[in-house]
Amino acid sequence: MKFKYLLPLTMTTVFLSGCANATNTQASINEADLYGNWNCKISSEENSVKISMDYDVSYIRNGKSNGIGILKFKVPDLPEMEYSFAGSSDWELKGGYLIETSTEIKLVNISHPEFDKEFNLESLFPQNISESSKILVLNRKLLKLKSETDGTEYSCTRNPIKN
């Protein structure tokens, strides 16, 4: 099977945590609003390939982020595959954009590992890949971004502090 056409779609899904329908001026972006824990839900479909992701990401003031969650991947003629996801990135805000560079990505097929010989999703993700997203909304409750890679919009909501 040829899966290389999936790389841009999958990479955007894995990298991004936010999304949007509103506009935001650069002056209204407050970096401190990004710090903390977010829950992100992303789904996308292209060429009969469906990808969805539900994950938690933490943006730390030192320019690092860490995320964990579940990635679901459906390709025609194969069962839906579910992966556990863990990733780390370096991030920066620049000119109204959130720029993230992966430092580590770990994907483990938890539903159908027998397909890993044909299609090892983790092998498609080299380290140090960058993604730039326009910040459409950033406040204490909502993060909305638009990917520069494919124009997809994403959304995250603030995770409440757990005691």
Domains and CATH numbers, the chain: 4-158 (2.40.128.280)
Rounded Cα–Cα distance for residues 102 and 128 (Å):
5
Indicate the SS3 state at residue 44: strand
103: left (phi over 0), alpha (psi -120 to 50) or beta: alpha
Indicate the SS3 state at residue 99: strand
The predicted structure's pLDDT at residue 146: 94
Q: In angstroms, what CA-CA distances link 144 with 12, 34, 36? A: 14, 11, 15
Q: List pLDDT tens digits, range 44-73.
A: 888 899 999 999 999 999 999 999 999 998
> Would you say 18 and 98 are in contact if contact means Cβ atoms under 8 Å apart?
yes
> Would you say 64 and 90 are in contact if contact means Cβ atoms under 8 Å apart?
yes
The predicted structure's pLDDT at residue 129: 87
Query: What H or E segment, with its residue span, contains residue 10?
Result: helix 7-15
Cβ contacts of residue 127 below 8 Å, gap of 6+?
102, 103, 104, 105
pTM (predicted TM-score): 0.78
Q: List pLDDT tens digits, range 95-131.
A: 999 999 999 999 999 999 998 888 777 777 777 889 9
Name which residue leads in pLDDT, 14 or 104. 104
